[in-house]
Structure 1
Amino acid sequence: MTLDPVWISSELDAIDSLGDKPLEKGRRLEALISAIFSLVSGLEYDGADLLNFYKTEEIDLLFWNDRERDGVHFLDCPLIIECKSSSTPLAGRDLRYFATTLADKGRRSGVLVALGGVAGNERSASAGFYHMTAALGGGVTILVVTREDLLALTTVLDLVALLKRRLLALTRSQILEAGGA
C-alpha cells in the first residue's frame, strides 16, 4: 500500500501552523498517525485518547495487532502509540513516563511518535536514549518515529521496515562490543 509523501508533508505543515495550540496539534498528529498505522497489515484501530478508570492516564492511540507476517508481528497486541507534536526533542522523562505507562498496562512494546526526535545522543545513550535502553533492560521496548521518518515514508512496508530497524538498533545498544570496536 502506497503512502502519499505530499499528504504527509502537508499534514505536518498543518500541525506546525497551529502554533501554541498543543491540544489541537496533538489531535491532528493522532489523526495522521492513526490513518497511516491503520494501513499496516493486521493493525485495527481501536480508539484514541482513552482514559484509565481513574482518569489519571491517557493512551493516545490503541490498535489491535493480529501480528500478520507482513505487518508488525514483532510488536505487542494491543499496540499502544503515543504522539508528541512538539518540534523540540523529547526529554528523557517523557520516554521514562511512556515506558512506565506501557509496563503498567502489561505491554512489552509501544511506538512513540516524537516529531522533534529525542533529546540526547544515541551512540552514548544519553538523555532520552538512556531511558529507552534502560526500559529495554526492564523488558519494555519503545520504538521512536520522528518527523523525518514520516516524511521518508512512501509505502506502508517502509513503516514496517523502519520499526524493524529501530528494534534492531535498540537491541544492539544493549550489546557490548568486544574489544571496543
Structure 2
Amino acid sequence: MSIDSSWVANELTAIDALGHVPQEKGKRLETLVTTIFSLVSGLQYEGTNLLNFYRTEEIDLLYWNDRERDGVHFLDCPLIIECKSSKTPLSGRDLRYFATTLRDKGRSSGVLVALAGVAGDEEAVTAGFYHMTVALIEGVTVLVVTRDDLLALKSGADLVTLLKRRLLSVVKSQVLQAAAASS
C-alpha cells in the first residue's frame, strides 16, 4: 500500500495550524504516524498514550514487531515511538529523556518522530546528536524521523529503508567520533 504524499502534507499543515494547542497537535501527529507505521510489514499497532503504573511516564505509540525480514527486524519488540510536533528542533535534554525512557522499559531501540529534527550539529555531534551517541554507548538506539522524512515517504518499505539508513548513520557517527577522539 502506498502513502499519499499530498495527504501527509495536508496533515502536517493541519498540525501546524493548531498553533499552541499541544495536545491536539500531538494527537493529530500520532494519528499520522500510526497510519504510516501500520504500513510496515510485521508491525501491529498496540496503543496510544499508554501511562505507566505510576502515571509518571507516557508512551505515545506502541507497536508489536514480528521482526519480519522485509520489516523493521533490526528494531525492538515491542517498539516504542515518541512523537514531537514542535516547530523548533528537539533539545538534547528531550532526546536524552526518550533514551532513558527506552532504557527504563528494557528497550534497546526506539523511534523519535521530531517534525523539526534535533538541535545541534550532526557533524560536530553537539546537543541532541551528542545524546544520541551517548545513548548508543549505553546500549540504546534512538532513530529520528523528521517532517521532511515523512513528506518523502511513498510506502512502508520506504520507511524501513529510512530507518535502516538512520541506524547506520548513528553507528557510523559514533565510530568516526571515537576515531577522531583517539587521534
Does 2:55 correspond to 1:30?
Answer: no
What's 2:146 paired with?
Answer: 146
- The runs of 4+ residues in structure 1 deviating greater than 4 Å are 177-180
* TM-score, structure 1 normalization: 0.97
Which shows bigger deviation, 162-171 or 149-158? 149-158
Give the secondary structure class of the aligned counterpart of 2:35: helix
* CA displacement 1:35-69 (0-9 Å, x = unmatched): 11011000000000000000000000000000000
Matches of 1:80 and 1:150, distance apart in 2: 18
1:73 is aligned to: 73
**Cα distance between partner residues in 2 of 1:125 and 1:102:** 21
The CA distance in 2 between the partners of 1:73 and 1:33, in whole Å, is 19
Structure 2, unpaired ranges of 5+? none
Give me the whole-angstrom Cα distance separating, in 2, the residues matched to 1:150 and 1:99: 22
- Give the alignment's TM-score, normalised by structure 2: 0.96
> 169-178 or 5-14: which moved more?
169-178
Q: 1:155: Cα distance to partner?
A: 1.4
Aligned-partner SS, 2:88: coil
Please name the residue that 2:161 is paired with: 161
SS of equivalent to 1:117: coil
Would the aligned equivalents of 2:39 and 2:155 in 1 still touch at CA under 8 Å?
Answer: no
**Separation in 2, partners of 1:23, 1:112:** 17
**Pairing of 1:13-162 with structure 2 (within 5 A):** 13-162=13-162
RMSD of aligned C-alpha atoms? 1.4
Shift of residue 87, structure 1, vs aligned partner: 1.1
**Corresponding letter in the other structure for 2:146:** T
Counterpart CA distance in 2 for 1:75 and 1:39 is: 16
Identity of aligned residues (%): 72
Q: Which runs of 5+ in 1 are unaligned?
A: none
- 1:179 Cα deviation (Å)? 8.0
1:124-180 CA-to-partner distances (Å, cap 9, x unmatched) read: 110000000000000000000000000011111111000000000000011137689
Q: Supply the AA of the counterpart residue of 2:160.
A: V
Deviation per residue, 1:68-127 (Å, 9 max, x gap): 000000000000000000010000000000000000000000000000100000011100
Distance 2:88 2:120 in 1: 12
Return the alpha-carbon distance in structure 2 between the equivalents of residues 87 and 147 of structure 1.
Answer: 10
Q: For 1:173, what is the secondary structure of its paired residue?
A: helix
Cα distance in 2 between the residues matched to 1:126 and 1:150:
24
The verdict on how the C-alpha distance between 1:130 and 1:24 changes in structure 2, with shifts beyond 3 A counting, is: same
